[in-house]
Structure 1
Amino acid sequence: MSAQGAHILVVDDERAIRHFLRVSLSAQGYVVAEAATGHEALEVVAVQPPDVLILDLGLPDMEGIEVARRLREWTELPIIILSVREKEQDKIAALDAGADDYLTKPFSVGELSARVRAALRRTSSPPNQSVYTVGSLVLDLARRVVTREGAGVHLTPTEYDLLRVLIHHHDRVLTHTQLLERVWGAGYEEEVHLLRVNISNLRRKLEQEPTRPVYLLTEPGVGYRFKSGE
């Protein structure tokens, strides 16, 4: 989905922030609506679902995390958290509650716009897509084949499963716990070293410069993201 005409709902109790985001995002072709409370946000989404939700955590009537949790009971609407809270535990709690991304205030409009575009790219992917092409990488889920610049890449079963999960949720931050549960299963939530080793191996096999990755990005203290575009 392109920016032109995409609908964004901004949920923040600060009028100045809502106004700033409305002006900035409208100038890029988005249609922007506003909500000042969690309950108002839930009502708006139920009646007229936006394409992307930008959500503050500190709302006057309920925590933004609770808003995300309630929405995840029935919708996969992309949720980007925009908050002054910068502690790792706040980011992890929001992502575990169902948020797709997390930005801290103060923020740059350019960075927020990039995250919105990434969210729109993710939702525009066909639901049953079996082949993902990102730059020089191709992942064929049906054949369990990975190629880079046309050449086959040998991955261990664990490396393949980890890459599959990351690409399936491309442009979304996945926490350490989410990745460990989905790839290794229950009981491995604390085994972060396993995750780091396999991410390192994937970067070595897939990135042009493993120490300066462009696909497999680290969200410090939180988790990882597979970046599919700009």
Structure 2
Amino acid sequence: MPHAVIVDDNLESSETLAILLEMEGYSAATAGSLREARQRLAERRPDALVLDRALPDGQGMDFIAEALRDGPMTVVLLTGFSDAGDAAEAVRRGAAAYLVKPATIEQLKAVLDGAGNPARQAA
């Protein structure tokens, strides 16, 4: 079963997203800060990391490289900020996608499923 960690300081949003991902066949853990995210990643390396852009102890954008340092995973920035420059920067840093809230579970699942699809990577 694929595992996802959702990092968002809005507890209600992260718990709702965790439930939706679990309904789609993922196990999911939540974190409300980058400090908690580091703990979750140390406990169990996820297949997917869904990051908010602005967190109480730092920027999700800055955490992408740190998260990817120990090996591949699908990283998605899920944010309330709609900024084409930030979206391009997130992808440049290694994110699979930059989704603007309110993104649907279908949009997120398409990224998570597509990132692990060899046919997509070859395109």
TM-score for both structures, normalised by structure 2 = 0.89
Aligned equivalent of 2:18, options 22, 31, 37: 22
Match of 1:78 in 2: 74
SS in 2 for 1:68: helix
The alignment partner of 1:99 has SS state of coil
Superposition map of 1:150-229 within 5 A: 170=121, 226=123
Determine if contact 1:86/1:104 at 8 Å carries over to the other structure. yes
In 2: Cα distance, 1:67 partner to 1:99 partner = 10
- Matches of 1:40 and 1:104, distance apart in 2: 23
Please name the residue that 2:87 is paired with: 91
CA deviations on 1:57-79 (whole Å, 9 max, x unpaired) are 11110100111121233322210
Comparing both chains, which one has the higher relative contact order based on Cα–Cα distances under 8 Å and sequence gaps of 6 or more?
A: 2
The whole-number CA distance in structure 2 between the counterparts of 1:110 and 1:100 is: 15
Q: List alignment gaps of at least 5 residues for structure 1.
A: 126-133, 135-166, 172-225
1:114 Cα deviation from its structure 2 partner: 1.2
The structure richer in helix per residue is 2
Give the direction of change, closer, same or farther, for the CA distance of 1:47–1:91 in structure 2 (3 Å limit). Answer: same
1:114-158 per-residue CA deviation (whole Å, 9 max, x = no partner) reads 11111233xxx5xxxxxxxx5xxxxxxxxxxxxxxxxxxxxxxxx
Query: Tell me, what secondary structure is at the counterpart of 2:41?
Result: helix
1:10 and 2:10 aligned: no
Counterpart pick for 2:102 among 103, 106, 111: 106
Based on CA coordinates, which of the two structures has the bigger radius of gyration?
Answer: 1
User: Deviating runs (4+, > 3 A) in structure 1?
Assistant: none
2:53 pairs with 1:57: yes
Aligned-partner Cα distance in 2 for 1:44–1:20: 18
Structure 2 counterpart of 1:115, from 107, 111, 115: 111
Q: TM-score, normalised by structure 1?
A: 0.50
State the identity as a percent.
28
For 1:60-106, what per-residue CA distance to the aligned partner results, in whole angstroms no more than 9, with x for missing partners? 10100111121233322210111111111111222222212111111
Deviation of 1:112 after TM superposition, in Å, equals: 1.2
Counterpart-to-counterpart distance in 1, 2:20 and 2:78: 15
Native 8 Å contact 1:83 1:104 kept in 2: yes
